[in-house]
Amino acid sequence: MSSTRRQMMIVAVLVCLFAVGMAGLLNFFKYRSNAERIVTERLVVTGKAIGNSIQSSLALGMQLADLGMLPETLKRERATDDLILSIEVFDLDGNPLYNTDLLRATRNVPADWLHAARRAGGKDWFVQRGTESAAGIAIETNFGLAVGYLALRYSDETAKTSTNAVARQLALATLGVFIAAALVASLALSAMTGLMSRKFDAVEAAVRSGDRARSSEALRNGPFGGALRRFIEGVRGAEAEIALVRRQLERGTAP
Amino acid sequence: MNERYLRGFYVRLTGVLMLIVVLGLLATAYLSHRAFEQSLAPEMVKKVTSGGASVRGLVLTAMAHNIGFRELYGVEQSFEELKGAIPDVAYVALTDTQGAIVYESFTAPPGVAAYFREPGLLASAARRNASAPVVRLGKQYVVSMPIATPSQAVGMLHIGVDVGFVDRIVLDMLFDVLVVLIAALFFTLELLNFVAGTKIEAELKALGATIERGGAGNFSTFGAPSDQAFGAVHRLLERMRLRVNSAYEALARDVEAARRLPAHERPPGLAAAASGLSLLAQRYRFGPADPSETADAGLLARVRAPLFVFILAEELTRPFLPGYVKSLLVPISWLAPEVVVGLPIVLFMLIVALAQPFLGATCQRFGYRRAMLVGAAIAAFGFAASAFAANVLDLLVWRSLCALGYATVFVAAQGHVLEHSTAETRARSFALFVGAIMVATVCGPSIGGILADNIGERMTFGVAALLAVVSIVAIQRLPDSARAGQPRTKPSTSALRGIGALLLSKRFMTLTGLAAMPAKVLLTGMCFYLVPLYVLALGSSQTMVGRILMAYAVVMVLCTPLAAALATTRERMEKLVGAGLMISGSGGAMMLLGGDVGSVFAATVLVGVGQSLSISAQSALLREHCEAEVAAMGEPLVYGLYRLLERLGNALGPLLAAVLVMTLGYQTSFAVIGALVMVCGIGFLLATRRQPSPELAWATTV
């Protein structure tokens, strides 16, 4: 029975590992996706504020490439959030128009930005690639015609740092819960297996004792109930009949 | 009896374990909630601060144009725009330098007016571009942003964020945790069965058999029981049987010895004793037991774990496969994209359907264990290669390998079950086989959806490959049962003639064409093709697809035994099949009433209910309907063709759905497939409507 008890404890540990581990993993994934969503939405909120201001200027008949106030607006907005590394405005072919980072002002935007922007249609788009991560929006005229894109470049390392801290916190919590659950479950299953073992021991003792009253009581409460009683009675009956035939053989008397 | 005892023991073990797991999951959820709140709240504050900057900018622009703070126009509109951009915003207010509310919108948290007048907060109003500390008022976090021109402080912008955003995240997380809990429940049962159950079950069975035999007067000996869980009791009982057996043998020896004595020396009671001995031999059984009575049930049960793990690997891919194919699409001029998306599923089902009849003989010749090993290895390679697929064309090749592996493992496991079961235990053995598959269909899609959403489809294929490898490890524990050299039977001319006759048989085709095939078309067309694509098209997640497919499997697990219990007569079976088709078809048709995720969920549950009603009755009905064909051609041929056509229905489903989506869109495609199945159900009920026999018709007119 000790091997069964050990196996039950293994079952308890494995089930707790699966359930609590999986839940911990899911919680982390859920946190990560929500944290990333909040960060990107925050950038998009800033981007949309700039986009609205650009759209107002375009509505007055100005060209996207000739918005004199835009560099100052971009610089101001860039300063409001330390997550933003640069704010870049580029045309539909990826040619740079405005950039708060002067070192990047003459470079074409990364190909994956342009690809993501085009694939998103008029919707918000996101690229995650280290310091080249970006959250972007399409710049449209009042008639819904896309004339360019605005991207807020950020480093996803900053976001990852806080994610890692939470991951550690969640991992510790999950580990603690796993250890507690596995311990309690192992003890509970071990106790239940022990209870079953004791029932079998009682049956064994009752059968061994040969005491009819005691064995009847144990058999009634035991796991095999009536069947075991039939077995015992069957054995006793058969033995009695064999003894009777033997007596016939030895004594030569009729029953 | 021992089965009932074991089931009770399992239920208690599982119940206790599940209770502890639930408590563990609740503790995890509580701790995660705290961690989320602590870490996400500052991120949310930064987000609303970004949004608030535009409102603050507008106020400052107005002030620059010498518009008084209390005369601003359109402030509430800008508040509305802010809430439109950030739906978590629950309250927005502008206060003056004294903390008096000048403008406000939405729901004010309790105590907000007093908080705005706090000296500490008012002191921060003078600092440009600074944010006051965030405070929690009632159910909101309130962020306060000073509004100040270079020359003077103007007031403050306060934005309240509903703390419920964390609760919503945690609630969504709890749905996933519930899925984990259900999967854990089935996982527990499988583990109990795999780690301890097989041994305990076999030992309890052996002990029970000893008791039952002894109780029935069978004292034949089986040899000493092994050192097992209930060994002491078992050995004691076996000793008692041995004692009776030995006493009988001694008596028989003595009677025989007395017979051999000269007549004058024979005991006078010999005749009576010989007669008593003969009576004893009639009433009881003595001597060594028949070896066939000591079959090892554990051998059979051992196939369940590898089969479960292997099928789980395939089931993981269900919720995300169509979406994955869509992401790998390349233009094929002569095929519509919708059809290309369905191709990997069609090809998979087609290979499984066509390969199975041929694999039966091959696996038997090759040995079931070896065949399972090879099949699982092929599938593992297929899963791993699918993870690296460059486009839909090479994915087709890798999925074909998965299909070949799946079919091989399926057929070989089936063969293993057949090999290790007797005619009496066959039904129970197949329940074990089907049980493993059903549990995998409950756990697989839900876990697969969650994994695909969080670690990506390619990594989830990697997990599937890993599971297939794990199944290989478990398969290695199976006994080798190679039957080398057995000739493969080729289909004879009479068999081909039989197939032709079956295809023309009205009775056979009524059940196959109107019930079995449409049921499978609905299953694969709707559940495996339309549901994953449509739910993603609605903007929902693969996790949700997994939950929906899990609901289908759970309904099947719960309802199938009930339906099987109801299917006691031919008439009832026919009604169950017809009703099942109508109910499952109505699931598809009801998509015309609503097109949201909830409707898809309800539709899939209806399909599950309908399928569970009809599936078990269908197989049983085949024997009832085609009694003459079974008698003439044999059960393997009739059932083989039935299964082949049924599986071809599996392949047809996604193809039909793809063509329908291409022309009619998603919702109508659901409805059309559902309506087709309902029509088949009506057709089936009409075709099987019992005509009164001529005698009975005559009798009723008298």
- Is the pLDDT at A202 greater than 80? The verdict is no
Task: Read off the pTM.
Answer: 0.73
Q: Report the mean per-residue pLDDT for chain B.
A: 82
pLDDT for the residue numbered A177: 93
**Rounded mean pLDDT, A17-44:** 85
Q: Which of A87-91, B57-61, B186-190 has the highest mean pLDDT?
A: A87-91
Query: Contacts from B561-565 at CB under 8 Å and sequence distance 24+?
Result: B562/B612, B563/B612, B563/B613, B563/B614, B563/B615, B563/B616, B563/B617, B564/B616, B564/B617
The answer to whether the CB of B609 falls within 8 A of the CB of B562 is: no
B291-320 burial, b if ≥16 CB within 10 A, otherwise e?
Answer: eeeeeebebbbbbbbbbbbbbbbbbbbbbb
Residue ranges of A 5-34 with Cβ closer than 8 A to chain B: 7-8, 10-12, 14-16, 18-20, 22-27, 29-31, 33-34
Answer with the residue of higher pLDDT: B466 or B208: B466
Structure tokens at B73: 């126009």
Interface residue of B13, B178, B463, B470 to substitute, partner A, most A CBs within 10 Å: B13
**Rounded mean pLDDT, B168-180:** 78
Interface residue of A55, A56, A152, A231 to substitute, partner B, most B CBs within 10 Å: A231
Q: Which of A191-195, A233-237, B472-476 has the highest mean pLDDT?
A: B472-476
Residue A22, domain extent: 2-163
Q: How confident is the model at residue A242 (pLDDT cuts 50, 70, 90)?
A: confident
Residues of chain A in contact with residue B212, where contact means CB-CB under 8 angstroms, are: 227, 231
3-class secondary structure per residue, chain A: CHHHHHHHHHHHHHHHHHHHHHHHHHHHHHHHHHHHHHHHHHHHHHHHHHHHHHHHHHHCCCCHHHCCCHHHHHHHHHHHCCCEEEEEEEECCCCEEEECCHHHCCCCCCHHHHHHHHHCCCCCEEECCHHHEEEEEEEECCCCCEEEEEEEEECHHHHHHHHHHHHHHHHHHHHHHHHHHHHHHHHHHHHHHHHHHHHHHHHHHHHHHCCHHHHHHHHHHCCCHHHHHHHHHHHHHHHHHHHHHHHHHHHCCCC
Å between B265 CA and nearest CA of chain A:
12
- Is the pLDDT at B337 greater than 80? The verdict is yes
Structural domain includes residue A197: no
- Is the pLDDT at A102 greater than 90? The verdict is no
pLDDT for the residue numbered B198: 62
Segment B73-98, tens digit of pLDDT: 888 888 888 888 888 899 999 998 88
Tell me the C-alpha distance between B464 and A186, whole Å. Answer: 29
Angstrom distances, CA of residue B204 to CA of B9, B226, B586: 12, 12, 46
Answer with the residue of higher pLDDT: B338 or B173: B338
**Rounded mean pLDDT, A214-224:** 60
Report the first-to-last Cα separation within chain B, whole angstroms.
53
Tell me the C-alpha distance between B231 and A200, whole Å. Answer: 10
Best CA proximity match to A131, nearest among A101, A106, A97, A105: A101
Answer with the residue of higher pLDDT: B222 or A54: A54
**Rounded mean pLDDT, A133-141:** 90
Structural domain includes residue A39: yes
Segment A2-13, tens digit of pLDDT: 677 887 888 888
Q: How confident is the model at residue B580 (pLDDT cuts 50, 70, 90)?
A: very high
Q: Which residues contact B694 (CB under 8 A, 6 or more apart)?
A: none
Q: Is B327 on the interface with A (CB under 8 A)?
A: no
Structural domain includes residue A149: yes
Q: Which residues contact B5 (CB under 8 A, 6 or more apart)?
A: A223, A224, B204
Structural domain includes residue A151: yes
Chain B residue with the nearest C-alpha to that of A253: B269
Residues of chain B in contact with residue A33, where contact means CB-CB under 8 angstroms, are: 454
Q: Is B123 on the interface with A (CB under 8 A)?
A: no
Chain A residue with the nearest C-alpha to that of B30: A173
Tell me the C-alpha distance between B364 and B370, whole Å. Answer: 10
Q: Which range (A205-219, B125-139, B165-179, B527-541) has the least confidence?
A: A205-219
Q: Which range (A134-143, A155-164, B287-296) has the least confidence?
A: B287-296
**Rounded mean pLDDT, B302-308:** 83
Q: How confident is the model at residue B491 (pLDDT cuts 50, 70, 90)?
A: low
- Is the pLDDT at B695 greater than 50? The verdict is no
Tell me the C-alpha distance between B264 and B625, whole Å. Answer: 72
What is the number of CB-based contacts under 8 A between chain A and chain B? Answer: 270
**Rounded mean pLDDT, B471-500:** 68
The answer to whether the CB of B142 falls within 8 A of the CB of B160 is: yes
Residues of chain B in contact with residue A169, where contact means CB-CB under 8 angstroms, are: 35, 39
Segment B358-396, tens digit of pLDDT: 887 788 788 888 999 999 999 999 999 999 999 888 999
pLDDT for the residue numbered B196: 61
**Rounded mean pLDDT, A32-48:** 86
Indicate the burial class of B214 (C-beta count within 10 angstroms; 0-12, 13-18, 19 or more).
buried
Answer with the residue of higher pLDDT: B264 or B400: B400
Q: Is B98 on the interface with A (CB under 8 A)?
A: no
Q: Is A4 on the interface with B (CB under 8 A)?
A: yes
Looking from the CA of B537 toward its CB, the CA atoms found within 13 Å total 15
pLDDT for the residue numbered B484: 45
Residues of chain A in contact with residue B232, where contact means CB-CB under 8 angstroms, are: 200-201, 204
Interface residue of B7, B28, B211, B443 to substitute, partner A, most A CBs within 10 Å: B28
Q: Is B240 on the interface with A (CB under 8 A)?
A: yes
- Is the pLDDT at B693 greater than 50? The verdict is no
- Is the pLDDT at B511 greater than 70? The verdict is yes
The answer to whether the CB of B621 falls within 8 A of the CB of B700 is: no
Q: Which residues contact A44 (CB under 8 A, 6 or more apart)?
A: A124, A135, A137, A152
Q: How confident is the model at residue B424 (pLDDT cuts 50, 70, 90)?
A: low
Q: How confident is the model at residue B653 (pLDDT cuts 50, 70, 90)?
A: very high
At residue A128, φ and ψ (nearest 5 deg) are -115, 110
- Is the pLDDT at B264 greater than 50? The verdict is yes
Structure tokens at B442: 């409950």
**Rounded mean pLDDT, A129-133:** 83
Best CA proximity match to B404, nearest among B458, B355, B462: B355
Tell me the C-alpha distance between A142 and A146, whole Å. Answer: 10
Residue ranges of A 111-130 with Cβ closer than 8 A to chain B: none
- Percent of chain B with pLDDT strictly greater than 90: 23
Structural domain includes residue A32: yes
Q: How confident is the model at residue B583 (pLDDT cuts 50, 70, 90)?
A: very high
Q: Is A179 on the interface with B (CB under 8 A)?
A: no
**Rounded mean pLDDT, B181-197:** 74
Measured CA angle at B452 (ends B450, B456), to 5 deg: 140
pLDDT for the residue numbered B154: 85
Structural domain includes residue A223: no
Which residue type, as a one-letter code, is found at position B80?
Answer: E
pLDDT for the residue numbered B178: 81
- Is the pLDDT at A252 greater than 60? The verdict is no
pLDDT for the residue numbered B489: 52
- Is the pLDDT at B659 greater than 70? The verdict is yes
Q: How confident is the model at residue B300 (pLDDT cuts 50, 70, 90)?
A: low
Chain A residue with the nearest C-alpha to that of B196: A7
pLDDT for the residue numbered B694: 44
- Is the pLDDT at B229 greater than 60? The verdict is no
- Is the pLDDT at A255 greater than 50? The verdict is no
* Binary contact (B43, A174; C-beta < 8 A): no
Tell me the C-alpha distance between B624 and B601, whole Å. Answer: 35
Answer with the residue of higher pLDDT: B281 or B701: B281
3-class secondary structure per residue, B594-607: CCCHHHHHHHHHHH
pLDDT for the residue numbered B701: 38
Closest CB to B214: pick one of A3, A174, A234.
A234
Answer with the residue of higher pLDDT: A159 or A90: A90
- Is the pLDDT at B156 greater than 70? The verdict is yes
Report the first-to-last Cα separation within chain A, whole angstroms.
47
pLDDT for the residue numbered B697: 40
pLDDT for the residue numbered B698: 37
Q: How confident is the model at residue B133 (pLDDT cuts 50, 70, 90)?
A: low
- Is the pLDDT at B540 greater than 70? The verdict is yes
CA B255 to chain CA centroid, Å, is: 65
Structural domain includes residue A205: no
Structural domain includes residue A20: yes
Please report, for the domain that includes residue A95, its CATH number.
3.30.450.20
Residues of chain A in contact with residue B541, where contact means CB-CB under 8 angstroms, are: none
Total domains, chain A:
1
- Is the pLDDT at B630 greater than 50? The verdict is yes
Q: Which range (A151-165, B400-414, B529-543) has the least confidence?
A: A151-165
Q: How confident is the model at residue B421 (pLDDT cuts 50, 70, 90)?
A: confident
CA B66 to chain CA centroid, Å, is: 68
Chain B residue with the nearest C-alpha to that of A20: B25
Looking from the CA of B187 toward its CB, the CA atoms found within 13 Å total 24
Residues of chain B in contact with residue A180, where contact means CB-CB under 8 angstroms, are: 24, 27
Q: Which range (B238-247, B273-282, B287-296, B542-551) has the least confidence?
A: B287-296
Q: Which range (B289-298, B343-352, B548-557, B622-631) has the least confidence?
A: B289-298
- Percent of chain B with pLDDT strictly greater than 70: 88
Segment B558-568, tens digit of pLDDT: 888 888 788 77
Tell me the C-alpha distance between B617 and B594, whole Å. Answer: 31
Q: Which range (A117-126, A210-219, B81-90, B634-643) has the least confidence?
A: A210-219
- Is the pLDDT at B233 greater than 90? The verdict is no
Q: Which of A125-129, A154-158, B628-632 has the highest mean pLDDT?
A: A125-129
pLDDT for the residue numbered B600: 93
Q: How confident is the model at residue B225 (pLDDT cuts 50, 70, 90)?
A: low
